[in-house]
């Protein structure tokens, strides 16, 4: 997690930085909006900006939009800055964090922003075989295409390849092609020169240049606009890129790893993905099976996540009960490893006994169970179970929407939409923190 803190944070900047580092983050500091923008223009990877609520957040976010810089922004300030907090959210900040900083809340925001976990934990023979191939091809310079359903861990396998390559001591830069609007993706990848468009007030280095001599992960490349695909193909073939508004090509030495949760051969047939680019990327293909097809990973990963979230929330480490293990193994995991992680995070927080039993394992999709479901689920609609899960989680977080969304594995916007619907239907909701 790469974090940029802008401003003095009412004298709490040291505490906030320390907590972020303890949560696995790398912190950069800027004392003003303009200096914060300069950090972002330099091409430095930043995944989350924490900005002092007393600064001109509207100007900062407007500059990000004008300069086509895509980054998550949260505002921070003392708890009694209610009017400034509202103003910051209206200006476009994703969340507001009260100061002095709470470790659990900052940890939740960092996790929600990136969900990064570079540990590659496994216990299934299929996963072991994939890793053998990945380790064998890692030292090469070949492009790699990693395919598989959403949530299977494609980015983690990408990092494994980088960490075992000759470029391991260089940068690994990830770009989520599905999360960045089409109008911003070209700027994100190739950068631009000052004056290239309205709002380009300074040169910005793109991800290709930033990852030169290292590895560039193009996550969910199937979502990339076909016009940008042509420029990407040239960058891979010629090992050079053109900044938007630039007068001369720039040489780059960037290894490409791409991931997709869609069938790219079908996308080629449908005309939404270039065939020549597909062949360039698909020099080596690793297909990651769904979690249900590698059952040996399920309990091993579940225990890993129990340890992770017990430590994060300063809770005692608990064992999984046999009934809970059976429940996990009988579930089809439509959300794969990502869903398992969210499920075990909830279980850690909701468990009240000496071990994590099946009553603490709240599964999201009642129809995705292989054999049997818990008796408390029989006769309930999926929508009703979802509503109960969301409201119960919100009660546990004492109304904190950000933490609840992180635990549930959904975006804060999705959570707010659900809560608005429940409120209109007449259900009682915990007040917002």
SS3 category, 422: helix
- Tokens 């009682």 sit at which residue? 428
CA pair distance 95, 112, nearest whole angstrom: 11
Would you give per-residue pLDDT tens digits along the chain (433 residues)?
678 889 876 667 667 677 666 666 678 889 899 999 999 888 777 878 989 888 999 999 999 888 878 788 988 887 666 788 888 888 888 888 887 766 666 666 655 554 444 568 889 999 999 999 999 999 999 999 999 999 999 999 999 999 999 998 888 999 999 888 888 899 999 999 999 888 888 999 999 999 999 999 999 999 999 999 999 999 999 999 999 999 999 999 999 999 999 999 999 999 999 999 999 999 999 999 999 999 999 999 999 999 888 888 888 999 999 999 999 999 999 999 999 999 999 999 989 889 999 989 988 776 777 644 444 555 567 777 888 888 888 887 777 888 788 788 788 888 888 888 888 777 888 877 6
CA count, 13 A, side-chain hemisphere, 277: 25
Any residues with CB less than 8 A from the CB of 209 and at least 6 apart, and which?
A: 43, 191, 241, 250, 252
CA pair distance 186, 206, nearest whole angstrom: 9
Any residues with CB less than 8 A from the CB of 136 and at least 6 apart, and which?
A: none
Element housing 145 (H / E): strand 144-147
Same fold, 2-114 and 125-289: yes
Q: Are strands 240-241 and 95-99 parallel, antiparallel or unpaired?
A: unpaired
SS3 category, 244: strand
Q: Which of 261, 263, 171 is nearest to 212 (CA)?
A: 171
SS3 category, 262: coil
Give the count of beta carbons closer than 10 Å to the beta carbon of residue 196: 18
Any residues with CB less than 8 A from the CB of 5 and at least 6 apart, and which?
A: 13, 16, 17, 20, 27, 28, 29, 30, 49, 50, 51
Per the DSSP assignment, residues forming a β-bridge with 73 are 49
Q: Which of 33, 3, 37, 7 is nearest to 18 (CA)?
A: 3
Per-residue model confidence (pLDDT) at position 71: 83
Q: What is the DSSP secondary structure assignment for residue 356, as one 8-state letter?
A: B
CA count, 13 A, side-chain hemisphere, 399: 6
Q: Which of 95, 178, 121 is nearest to 403 (CA)?
A: 95
**Domain boundary assignment for the chain:** 2-114, 125-289, 295-424
Per-residue model confidence (pLDDT) at position 1: 65
Superfamily of domain 2-114: Response regulator (3.40.50.2300)
Topology adopted by domain 295-424: Helicase, Ruva Protein; domain 3 (1.10.8)
> CA 77, 82, 83: angle at the middle one, nearest 5?
110
Per the DSSP assignment, residues forming a β-bridge with 146 are 259, 286
Topology adopted by domain 125-289: Rossmann fold (3.40.50)
Q: Are strands 240-241 and 250-251 parallel, antiparallel or unpaired?
A: antiparallel
CA pair distance 80, 359, nearest whole angstrom: 39
How far is the CA of 157 from the CAs of 2, 162, 171, 428, in angstroms? 20, 9, 16, 43
Per-residue model confidence (pLDDT) at position 214: 94
- Tokens 């070949």 sit at which residue? 142
Peptide bond into 100 cis (omega under 30): yes
Backbone angles phi, psi at 336, to 5 degrees: 60, -145
């Amino acid at each position: 997690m790469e974090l940029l803190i802008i401003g003095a944070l009412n004298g709490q900047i040291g505490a906030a930085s320390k907590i972020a580092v303890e949560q696995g983050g790398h912190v950069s500091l800027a004392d003003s909006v303009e200096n914060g923008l300069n950090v972002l223009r330099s091409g430095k990877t930043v995944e989350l900006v924490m900005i002092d609520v007393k600064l001109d957040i509207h100007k900062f976010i407007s500059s990000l939009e004008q300069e086509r810089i895509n980054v998550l922004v949260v505002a921070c300030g003392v708890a009694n800055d209610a009017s400034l907090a509202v103003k910051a959210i209206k200006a476009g900040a994703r969340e507001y964090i009260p100061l002095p900083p709470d470790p659990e809340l900052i940890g939740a925001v960092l996790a929600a922003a990136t969900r990064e976990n570079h540990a590659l934990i496994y216990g299934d023979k299929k996963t072991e075989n994939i890793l053998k191939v990945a380790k064998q091809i890692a030292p090469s310079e070949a492009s790699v295409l990693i395919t598989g359903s959403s949530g299977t861990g494609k980015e983690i396998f990408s990092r494994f390849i980088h960490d075992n390559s000759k470029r391991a001591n260089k940068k690994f830069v990830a770009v989520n092609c599905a999360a960045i609007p089409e109008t911003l993706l070209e700027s994100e990848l190739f950068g631009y020169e000052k004056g290239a468009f309205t709002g380009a007030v300074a040169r910005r280095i793109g991800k290709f240049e930033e990852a030169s001599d290292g590895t560039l992960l193009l996550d969910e490349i199937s979502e990339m606009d076909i016009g940008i695909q042509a420029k990407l193909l040239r960058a891979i073939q010629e090992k050079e890129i053109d900044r938007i508004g630039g007068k001369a090509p720039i040489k780059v030495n960037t290894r490409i790893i791409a991931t997709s949760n869609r069938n790219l051969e079908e996308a080629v047939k449908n005309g939404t993905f270039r065939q020549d680019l597909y062949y360039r990327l698909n020099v080596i293909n690793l297909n990651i099976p769904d979690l249900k097809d590698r059952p040996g990973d399920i309990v091993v990963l579940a225990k890993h996540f129990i340890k992770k979230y017990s430590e994060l929330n300063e809770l005692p480490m608990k064992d999984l009960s046999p009934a809970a293990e059976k429940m996990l193994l009988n579930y089809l995991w439509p959300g794969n490893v990502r869903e398992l992680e969210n499920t075990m995070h909830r279980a850690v927080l909701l468990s009240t006994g000496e071990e994590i039993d099946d009553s603490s394992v709240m599964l999201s999709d009642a129809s995705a169970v292989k054999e049997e479901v818990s008796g408390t689920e029989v006769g309930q609609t999926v929508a009703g179970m979802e509503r109960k899960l969301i409201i119960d989680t919100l009660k546990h977080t004492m109304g904190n929407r950000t933490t609840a969304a992180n635990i549930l594995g959904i975006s804060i916007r999705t959570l707010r939409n659900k809560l608005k619907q429940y409120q209109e239907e007449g259900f009682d909701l915990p007040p917002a923190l």
